[in-house]
């Protein structure tokens, strides 16, 4: 019988085998962790939006957005709170936040095509007061310190899959 081991989260686990301990590496590098992948994806979605008005993929699904919005309502986040959407993609979540009455919205993404797509989507929804910036969240030099709420629906996942720096 193996002795209890301490996990990185401080919980002992007496059934922790060597195979279980190595499971942290089960998620290997992926193209989903590269800027090139996201730039190509959003460039295609931008072209599609310009051609037919389709905003493209809602990454992590609408249910993910709904859960965050329910949490925001439950926690009584004020409508004028400064809200940052990290890895804004096509800006769909910014649109939902605005529809729910939030007014001080900013989205950032490191993909120039994403930023252009999000701006186009917001303009089509007549949401001209929402800010979208091209910015790498990992290299923002303290520029993101004045937000009340920072939301990430999948950026951390993508960062974790980077083949060059997992």
Is 57 domain-assigned? yes
- Structural domain tally of the chain? 1
Is 67 domain-assigned? yes
CA nearest to 55, candidates 110, 132, 129, 114:
114
User: Model-level pTM?
Assistant: 0.73
Digits of tens for pLDDT over the chain (166 positions)?
434 433 333 333 333 344 443 445 556 766 666 778 888 888 888 888 888 877 877 766 788 889 999 999 999 999 999 999 999 999 999 999 999 999 999 999 999 999 999 999 999 999 999 999 999 877 777 778 889 999 987 666 666 666 576 5
Q: How far apart are CA 113 and CA 118, in angstroms?
A: 9
CATH number of the domain to which 157 belongs:
3.40.50.150
Task: Record the tokens describing residue 122, joined without a space.
Answer: 């917001």
Is 65 domain-assigned? yes
Is 9 domain-assigned? no
CB 94: neighbour CB atoms within 10 A?
26
- Which structural domain, as residue segments, surrounds residue 102? 31-161
Is 103 domain-assigned? yes
């Amino acid at each position: 019988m193996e002795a209890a081991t301490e996990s990185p989260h401080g919980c002992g686990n007496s059934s922790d085998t060597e195979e279980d301990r190595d499971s942290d590496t089960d998620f290997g590098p992926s193209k989903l962790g590269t800027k090139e992948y996201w730039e190509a994806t959003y460039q295609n979605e931008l072209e599609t939006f310009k051609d037919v008005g389709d905003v493209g993929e809602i990454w992590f699904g609408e249910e993910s957005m709904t859960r965050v919005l329910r949490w925001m309502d439950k926690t009584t986040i004020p409508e004028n709170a400064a809200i940052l959407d990290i890895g804004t993609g096509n800006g769909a979540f910014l649109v939902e936040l605005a529809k729910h009455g939030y007014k001080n919205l900013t989205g950032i993404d490191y993909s120039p095509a994403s930023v252009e797509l999000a701006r186009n989507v917001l303009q089509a929804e007549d949401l001209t007061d929402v800010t979208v910036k091209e910015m790498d969240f990992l290299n923002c030099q303290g520029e993101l310190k004045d937000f009340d709420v920072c939301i990430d629906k999948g950026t951390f996942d993508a960062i974790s899959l980077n083949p060059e720096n997992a």
